[in-house]
Structure 1
């Protein structure tokens, strides 16, 4: 819980202070890369660690993940320019993706299917405290001390988390079936690295698409990305086939919408509405609180209907998000609208994603084969990282394009939010093809527990 709480605090805090960082370092044109660098390297971290969990065990994988995350945090805190900060965020992303993959793998190994929605709902509580104090606290620190301290204060928290989980993960590794013999870099890892590079080229090119260099970079990035996506994503993903492919596409699209909307609403509130970073952060954080509440609700509903209503809950959650995104657009761009409408929209969007997100995770984990739990966990984190990286990256390119063409920041933010509305609409269509397994054939593989430890 502390691992996830620390990660949640960092995510919410950086979302709050990113606009100030970009302004202080004169890098507003690189605003999207504060998030994209993190997410693209998170993509690599999830795939690397998904294999290492199965081959080297969860304990060794967790130690490496902690180390890389802390290294990235130090680099970001001590950064001298925007490019160094982006480099630190890349290390942070790798470590964070690896950490969360380890956590998901542990859930799959230890808990039977009937309890997974409950433990994932419990994990959602890790967002409550950061949501209550994180954005406001980070905004105050950035405004009155320095945004660098927002990075520094994470290190002691992550160290405490390691001390608390050290023995538990070591004991879990002893009971885990570990294949061993992992190579430093195998084909899947190399493909993930190339995909991150190709995506980076595409996003860089989109930001300068008005000249021939931007067009060349974009085309080169696409040529690298498309064949690799066919290899890394489960078969049938491009066609949104029923079952696991449709589940992952649905999840990737609405998660991309949620995090990109959250990131750029902060920019809109500070640039268009003139709000301070701490106030804007508090408004957006309301979405995380309603996310937690909805996650608990879906866990209770899942226990009541024994998983029969999972598809309906996913569709209801996405439909709720559609209404929330539309309300955000109205609140930001209609005159004489107060911050209360922004607050309501964030609560609605957060509730929708909280209803859908644990549910799609449980549906996907049903497809995990025995001994390959880490791979399925990595698939979940892969679609989260890749779709969000693409959405935020393209959104950042739209803002940069608006600046280049002198359309103004308001036009850039409007294009970004319309893109997010399109993504969540496509997610709803994809959710129609989700199918639920009657009962997970490996639900008895985990240790049988009568009550959920809290």
Structure 2
């Protein structure tokens, strides 16, 4: 295959644009809700249910990701993708016309299930449609499409909410989603899963529901710490989560077993650390440095900018060494994230310029590690397991950040209850992210590459 072949060539153009639009729509909607959530809660008189605007989305996303991953391997991606789009659209419309918080939260659950299922189908399409040499390019574009909304999404959503209504944010996502469907669905219908698995997915469905239940109890308990009920809910949640995690993830993921399990573990850890750092950095800049929310958002966006640039460049580096340097790029990326987050940890005690530098280094690191880890995972996928591997990647990108952010919030809450200053609590949450990144680097050393065959194992 020619090295000059492009993801925007005639053969791949419709699918590539469809994937990019779908990812941008999901990414924008998720970030926009973060901005407009206070307005939603106040307008619908449901501030007591504020946290469930996000929790309902996360818990449903877990089920959608894992259930659809197994379904794809039995029936192919076309039907699950169509159902995911329909559910996401229904969720958007329901949210736009919601008259109370219960309806709004239900709509967020539909959106979460649809988003998890949709992104799993997108990953599967990448695995099945693009040859190995083009996967780093489409995964780089995928990453850029997901990150780009973080630079403009919150600001645009804020303007729409202030000038018109928060309801128009949900309506505004629909055209992009429908166009993405129009372009990509015909290609999805042609995709076939080799060696289709006939086994029932009922077991995976129940395990996913049990995992969502355990996660919900765990996150609810974190919000109640240090009260006794909070401790009980956290422990019960962990017990319920343990078995589904062992069954649904590749065997040995929690032990960093060599190969795909350690890759999924590394990706989940570094992505969780990145997302959590972004969330708590805004809090650090506004609470300890006195910056306005929009200026803090611009500083956080510096990581997204460097991510986009490096995500684009890594595809050319991959073509240059024919994929032989992927393992090294993952390790270098994670190491750079250690440096970047290591700088950001001390934001309460450093100047703003250093926080920008730390953010840009962190963005360079994840720009290397994130798309490259996806390319390695697909190169490692066995025939008939594209959907399952895609679900594993999406799970790493959605489940672990939610858990880590919840733990970080609990650290701050417990610190304040103990009389610790806000600065100390934020630094504690940031230190957790640094520990996760170090563990991610350890997991990344469990990969190896067969240079002769160009395969990762």
Given the two structures, how large is their TM-score scaled by the length of structure 2? 0.85
Does 2:212 align with 1:196? yes
Summarize the Cα distance change of 1:164–1:207 in structure 2 as closer, same or farther, 3 Å threshold. same
Q: How does 1:350-365 map to 2 (within 5 A)?
A: 350-365=363-378
2:349 is equivalent to residue 334 of structure 1: yes
Bigger Cα displacement from structure 2, 78-87 vs 185-194: 78-87
1:266–1:16 distance in 2 versus 1, CA, 3 Å: farther
Residue in 2 that maps onto 1:422: 435
Post-superposition offset of 1:45: 1.1
8 Å Cα contact 2:280-2:426 kept in structure 1: yes
Cα separation, partners in 2 of 1:154 and 1:409, compared to 1, 3 Å: farther
Query: Does the Cα contact within 8 Å between 1:40 and 1:385 map onto a contact in 2?
Result: no
Equivalent of 1:380, from 393, 415, 428?
A: 393
> What residue number does 1:447 align with?
none
After superposition, the C-alpha distances for 1:36-85 in whole angstroms (9 at most, x for unaligned) are 44333222111111122222222211111112222333344455666655
- Identify if the C-alpha distance between structure 1 residues 147 and 422 changes in structure 2 by more than 3 Å, giving closer, same or farther: farther
Is the 8 Å Cα contact of residues 295 and 355 (structure 1) preserved in structure 2?
A: yes
**2:277: which partner in 1?**
261
Q: State the 1:318 CA deviation.
A: 1.0
Distance 1:441 1:330, change over 3 A: closer
Partners of 2:197 and 2:384 within 8 A in 1: no
Shift of residue 423, structure 1, vs aligned partner: 1.0
Structure-2 change in CA distance of 1:345 and 1:441 (3 Å): closer
| Per-residue Cα deviation, 1:266-297 (whole angstroms, up to 9, x for no partner) | 33334444444433333322322211211122
Aligned to 2:182: 163
Label 1:288 to 1:368 Cα distance change in 2 as closer, same or farther (>3 A).
same
CA separation in 2, counterparts of 1:32 and 1:353? 28
Partner in structure 1 of residue 330 of structure 2: 314
**Unmatched 5+ stretches in structure 2:** 1-19
Q: Secondary structure at the match of 1:238?
A: helix
User: Paired residue for 2:300?
Assistant: 284
Instruction: Give structure 1 stretches of 5+ with no counterpart.
Output: 443-454
Contact 1:30 1:396 in 2 (8 A): no
How many pairs are equivalent? 436
Aligned residue for 1:58? 77
Distance 1:320 1:147 in 2: 38
Partner of 1:449: none
Alignment CA distance shift 1:118-1:67 (3 Å): same
**Does structure 1 residue 217 correspond to structure 2 residue 267?**
no
Specify whether residues 89 and 258 from structure 1 end up closer, same or farther in structure 2 by C-alpha distance, changes over 3 A only. Answer: farther
> Cα deviation per residue 1:2-36 (whole Å; 9 max; x = unaligned)?
11121222233334455776788898897765544
State whether structure 2 residue 309 is matched by structure 1 residue 303. no
Deviations 1:90-119 (A, max 9, x none): 322211111111111111111222221122
Aligned 8 A contact 2:449 2:455 in 1? no
8 Å CA contact retained: 2:346, 2:427:
no
Secondary structure of the 1:234 match is coil
Matched with 1:243 is 259
Q: C-alpha separation between the residues in 2 aligned to 1:222 and 1:380?
A: 22
Deviations 1:390-413 (A, max 9, x none): 112222333444455564654443
Tell me the residue number matched to 2:9.
none
Mapped to 2, the partners of 1:369 and 1:102 lie a distance apart of 17
CA contact (8 A) 1:40 1:389 kept: no
Q: Quick one: distance in 2 between partners of 1:130 and 1:429? A: 31
Q: 1:69 to 1:272 in 2, by over 3 A?
A: farther
